[in-house]
Structure 1
């Protein structure tokens, strides 16, 4: 069993991490867990071209570490092994692309993230991911 948990550091993704811990207790074998965060590209392409690759990489690593930290803490406290990774781009598109690439058995994600005001019933990122993947998705409110 492979579970992917997209995170953005919000309270919704912290709740999703807690639900993941509860779900795992029901499995005979511990699942493979991948935490995934998507860093938004900074500035415009022209602005990014003025920065060194090392500067951009350091920025994206720092932003991603902050977004991953709450979920990593929940999983570490529960004694679960996991892999953390980040990609850069549009969150919905990148999550869908990583799900296609990783082929997990389950995707667990919060219904809203830091952009909760953009979606009414369900966040726009969650809505787009659900619409663009065939992997079962467990949404956590």
Structure 2
């Protein structure tokens, strides 16, 4: 099975990994894993002031802060995963990658905002479900 793990470095991502580690059918060396992290873009003024090289380095360092511990966790379970990250809207990027990458399953933690919170702030989960035809396993 080809599985996409969407992570943001939060406690919700850690809960998702803990859930996977207790379900041998989901966390097994026979599957192909991609761990994906989406970062919000910096404001245009900040990018202009800092320059492209500095902004690119910043995004790479931030992605490494999220992906390195997850890679280490998976290696402890005997799993080599592909690591990937992009800058942009998390919900849109995750949903599109799940479909274009032809994944069998997308697994992600859910922050569990209230309905009012989702209306005000939007929800990455809602955006993913709107942009994705791949089955999604949400871990709360």
C-alpha distance in 1 between matches for 2:29 and 2:68: 25
1:46 CA displacement:
3.2
Structure 2 length normalisation: TM-score? 0.83
Provide the residue aligned with 1:5 in structure 2: 5
Q: What is the 5 A alignment of 1:20-59?
A: 20-23=20-23, 25-26=24-25, 30-42=30-42, 44-59=43-58
Provide the residue aligned with 2:59 in structure 1: 60
Structure 1 length normalisation: TM-score? 0.83
1:101 CA displacement:
2.1
- Structure 1 pair 79/29, CA: closer, same or farther in 2 (3 Å)? closer
Query: Is residue 121 of structure 2 the alignment partner of residue 128 of structure 1?
Result: no
C-alpha distance in 2 between matches for 1:78 and 1:29: 8
CA deviation string 1:2-37 (max 9, x = no partner): 1000101111111212333444x3278611100000
The gaps in structure 1 that reach 5 residues or longer are none
For the residue of structure 2 that corresponds to 1:50, the secondary structure is: helix
The gaps in structure 2 that reach 5 residues or longer are none
Q: CA RMSD in A?
A: 2.2
Q: How many residues align?
A: 134
| Misfit runs of 4+, over 4 Å | none
1:51 CA displacement:
2.8
1:39, 1:91 within 8 Å by CA — same for their partners in 2? yes
1:33, 1:82 within 8 Å by CA — same for their partners in 2? yes
